[in-house]
Chain A
Amino acid sequence: MNNIILSLIFTSALLIGISINSASARDLTIYTYESFNSEWGPGPVVFKSFEEQCECKIKVVTHGDSGTVLNRSILEKGNPNADILLGLNNSEIEKSFNHKLWIPYRSKLLDQVPKELDLDKKNRVTPFDYGYISFVYDSQKIKNPPRSLEDLLDQKYKRKIVIQNPKTSSPGLSMLHWTIAVFGEDEYLDYWKKLQKNLLSVTDGWSAAYGMFTKGEVPIVLSYVTSPAYHLEYEKTKRYKAALFKEGHYRQIEFAGILKGTEKIKMAQDFIDFMLSEKFQSVIPLTNWMYPVIRHQPLPDSFQIAPEPEVVPELNSSLVYKQNKKWLKAWSRAMSE
């Protein structure tokens, strides 16, 4: 009897210990957020083609969202377990500068990147894609879509909008910055107070909000201008559309950089070059649902439904870094009045 139990425990311990992916020789380690390296994300394609090009191995370590990845890199500051951090957005880069995480590198290909996307004049981080947040609506339920942030305050949208919490989600935070860029620091809270009655829920992250939207619970959701392109490409439908606003749309730019403390500077620099090359940039639209920073080739057909906004209200990223805490505090107090 005892022997049976003991042997059961030992066999299961042995079974559990068997590892499927044994650690292989690795050359370059990259930190990125979870969805970048999912089977639908750009990761599997672009990392493989870099491995073929450099004849090296890439080890990818993913951690939740971009905030978690930055979090981890800051905790490991100066002695990182990775060579590259990929996937930081414009509201986070200032923090990373403050913690002096980077070895600057300027890729020659950066000349082809539009000036307004290259936010770091010291070249500590390099942009690789960008997108705009917007309200996506179900055109079967909303016949006359809103055309401005002001329109969203209309009585007819009462409890018909779901957004994300700026305190816990990156598009949510961008929405807060969007309203500050449009209405100014003095008036954005008035806008939010009026918007409140139309919000069905303010979710913790994009997933819950977009899930509620696609499952028919709400007809309007805060997402990206490029979200409808997914539905067109994979679901063959134009039913979901992004509402283009006359105030313009807030831009999110994603960056990558070389972490200070790496011993593989040359290979890391090669990767940054590769990141701006056609092999990487052309994969971005249909996997990361963002715009590539360099158009080596025309955008896919499904992106016709995702035209780039003409007006782009912006906030200076060092202002964001300085004021963010204050804004969030004021926001949460105003919203619970």
Chain B
Amino acid sequence: MFFWQNNTTPLSLQFLQISSIILMVIGFYLPVLYFLSGSNPLNPEDNFLQWSFFIDFLNDSWNLSVIIFSIYQAILSAFLSIIFGFPGAWLLTYYNFPGKNWFQMLTYLPFILPSILVVLAMVLFFGHNGWINRGIMSLLGTDEPPFHLLYSLSGILIAHVFYNFPLAMKIIADQWENISLKYLQAAHSLGAGSTKCFFTITLPLLLPSIGSAFILIFLLCMNSFAIILVLGGGIRYTTIEVLIYQLARIEFDFSGAASLAFLQGGLSLFCMAILIRRRDGRVEQTNRLKCSLLKSLKDGSPKAWLSLFWIALVLIFALGPLTAIVLDSFRKFEYGQWIYTLEWYRKIFNIGENNQFLISLWNSIRIGIGSAILSSLCGLGLVSLILHSKGRKRSFLEILTLLPLALSTVVFGVAWFNFFQKHLIGVFPIIFVVIAMHALLTCPYWIRVVLPTLENVPKQWHIESRMLGKKPLDHGLQILWPWMRKTFLIAFFFSFSLSLGELNSILMIADDTVRTLPLEIFRAISGYRFSYASAIGVILLLLSVSTFFVVERSLGYFGTLK
């Protein structure tokens, strides 16, 4: 598959490709390799990576059980996210319904909140004293919570599925929409039933996208931290990421932390290498006709009713915890009980005295937009490079772009800080450094979201365009853009949202001149103001929803321009 023929690659695209490679290398690989290969900043005589550390570490059966559990929970989470996202992918492929785009967008919302708020939202909704348990307790009239969903392996899995199933849904649906109906019709005419068709034709054709979703979710869950500790109950379930955090932050053993991060990166790399295969490029294109869900419901189709049930389930599952946060933002504790109040919102929008919130809001917006633009440009360059290459070179490029997700954020933070401190401080304003860092962290998502759609651009379009003598840029804008714009919208929105919620890099490198909303949340919570933190979380959600709205509208506008 190709994006544009090599010999006709336009200069602008070449420029984009080269600059995105440079950004990736300077922003990620250079600092990390510099850190890993250099000497230990605490004991300059020592080399950073020590072979003896690996041997000692792997000789301990307890450590081995931690490694096994890390992989086990990540595989299980990815698997369940795909199982839960699969009906969604089917639904998006076969049905149109009012508010479909909004439905998709709403499921992404958890990504926007810093993990501490997500954890508290899960507790408010699924916890022993959460909405589900309290609802059923009052129905049954008991005092004992009937469901023990959290604080065990199931707590970890619920939270990971809550976060990740929308990714699976999106990535699989993209591929599904492009499976030619011809195959299915041919199979039907040969007498194959629906079930057989699904297992012999549809599922094999979907495997690349399932693999892609699996890798992404697996990597995210390998690096999960707060969810594992709080919702897993914290003692029995420890992962490599927790050990890395402990070594880097508590014991100041950077060499050990880096070695472990190296090990974790290696494990992830190994899993990626197994999962990333050359994709089947022979998928044909059709414009699949979609049924209207409302109409099918009226016709009494059982599939349609099942879909409706599934939508309702997803909305409860995904929006329940978020609604709990919204309600929490309207209450405060006074004289021993909860009262409902607008106090936190009045505080947020109080323009008079030195309002930290508005400064942080402004910073969050410009960092979010800046990094989403940068991430889109960088992603576009890298995606076109990936599509150019074949075989091993392609797998190599894919892994290269995914590695930033695989490395522990704690170690990335220390490596970045070390590099930044030595080479960049005073050269660039901190805000540009933060934007670049966020773009690097969100770019792998951007690529994963866009890649399957771009891959499915019908081959003959490129050929026809060239035969018509269209310039590459015109081809891009007139042919590819209308085809891609929905995916670009989702990818851009996703990068923006991820950047809005990002806290670690800010904690690591920013000073008081760059404060963002997640930082305000962090500060409010450390100062006992939990409900105020929820109110800022609600603003983050609103910001994200309104961005979605604006981007969707403006894309519609650009789409009609010729």
Contact = CB atoms under 8 A, between A and B. Distances in A.
24 contacts: A17-B431, A21-B513, A34-B507, A34-B526, A37-B512, A38-B526, A75-B41, A75-B417, A76-B421, A140-B336, A167-B242, A167-B246, A196-B235, A200-B128, A200-B151, A201-B234, A208-B116, A212-B230, A215-B328, A215-B530, A217-B123, A230-B528, A328-B246, A336-B235
B467 interface: no
B527 A72 contact: no
Interface in B493-530: 507-508, 511-513, 519, 522-530
Interface in A209-224: 210-212, 214-217
A217 B373 contact: no
Given A17-B429, A21-B512, A200-B233, 20 more contacts: A16-B370, A20-B363, A60-B511, A62-B511, A75-B421, A95-B252, A167-B245, A168-B250, A201-B232, A202-B229, A202-B234, A204-B230, A208-B116, A210-B530, A211-B119, A211-B525, A215-B123, A215-B124, A217-B130, A237-B335
A214 B333 contact: yes
B356 to A, nearest CB: 5
Interface string B103-144: 000000000000010011001100111100000000000000
A12 B368 CA distance: 11
Interface in A221-242: 227, 230-231, 234-239
A290 to B, nearest CB: 13
Interface stretch (A63-71, A105-113, A256-264): A63-71
Chain B: interface residue count, which band?
35 or more
Interface of B: 41-42, 62, 65, 116, 119-120, 123-124, 127-130, 150-151, 225-226, 229-236, 238, 242, 245-246, 248-252, 328, 332-336, 356, 359, 362-363, 366-367, 369-370, 373, 414, 417-418, 421, 425, 429, 431-432, 435, 473, 477, 507-508, 511-513, 519, 522-530, 561
A40 interface: yes
Interface in A287-337: 289, 324-325, 328, 332-333, 335-336
A203 B525 contact: no
Interface of A: 1-2, 9, 12-13, 15-17, 19-21, 23, 34-35, 37-41, 59-64, 67-68, 70-72, 74-77, 81, 95, 99, 140, 159, 165, 167-168, 173, 196, 199-204, 206-208, 210-212, 214-217, 227, 230-231, 234-239, 289, 324-325, 328, 332-333, 335-336
A24 B14 CA distance: 42
A99 B335 contact: no
Contacts of B65: 336
B370 A12 contact: yes
Contacts of B123: 211-212, 215, 217
Nearest to A206: B526
A336 B431 contact: no
A16 B435 contact: yes
A63 B42 contact: no
Contacts of B230: 201, 203-204, 208, 212
Contacts of A325: 251
A40 B512 contact: no
Given A34-B522, A61-B512, A215 B120 contact: yes
Contacts of B151: 159, 200-201
B537 to A, nearest CB: 12
Contacts of A336: 62, 65, 235-236, 238
Q: Which 5 A-B pairs have the closest CB atoms?
A: A202-B234, A35-B526, A38-B523, A40-B527, A167-B246
Contacts of B252: 70-71, 74, 95
Given A40-B527, A214-B333, A237-B334, A173 B124 contact: no
Contacts of A64: 507-508
B316 to A, nearest CB: 20
A20 B527 contact: no
Contacts of A206: 526
A215 B226 CA distance: 18
Given A34-B519, A203-B229, A324 B366 contact: no
Nearest to B367: A16
B62 A335 contact: no
A34 B515 CA distance: 11
A208 B233 contact: no
Nearest to B227: A204
B511 A61 contact: yes
A64 B523 CA distance: 9
Given A12-B369, A61-B511, A215-B120, A165 B527 contact: no
Contacts of B561: 1
Nearest to B245: A168
Contacts of B246: 167-168, 328
A237 B335 CA distance: 5
Nearest to B151: A201
Given A20-B359, A63-B507, A335-B235, A1 B418 contact: no
A237 B418 contact: no
A202 B233 contact: yes
A165 B229 contact: yes
Nearest to B477: A1
Chain B CB count within 10 A is highest, among A1, A16, A75, for A16
Contacts of A236: 334-335
Contacts of B362: 20
Given A9-B373, A173-B250, A217-B130, A34 B511 contact: no
Nearest to A208: B230
A75 B429 contact: no
B431 A167 contact: no
A317 B415 CA distance: 30
Contact of B249 (A40, A71, A75, A200): A71
Contacts of A332: 62, 238
A331 to B, nearest CB: 10
A324 B473 contact: no
A208 B123 CA distance: 10
A331 B373 CA distance: 47
A16 B250 contact: no
A74 B42 contact: yes
Contacts of A15: 366
A197 to B, nearest CB: 11
B334 to A, nearest CB: 5
Contact of A167 (B250, B332, B432): B250
A147 B522 CA distance: 33
A168 B128 contact: no
A19 B370 contact: no
Nearest to A212: B123
Contacts of A237: 333-336
B217 to A, nearest CB: 21
A73 to B, nearest CB: 11
Given A2-B473, A39-B523, A216 B129 contact: yes
Nearest to A29: B511
Given A61-B511, A235-B334, A99 B233 contact: no
B116 A207 contact: yes
Contacts of B245: 167-168
Contacts of A196: 235
Contact of B120 (A75, A81, A208, A324): A208
Contacts of A328: 246, 250-251
A203 B242 CA distance: 11
B229 A168 contact: yes
Contacts of A239: 336
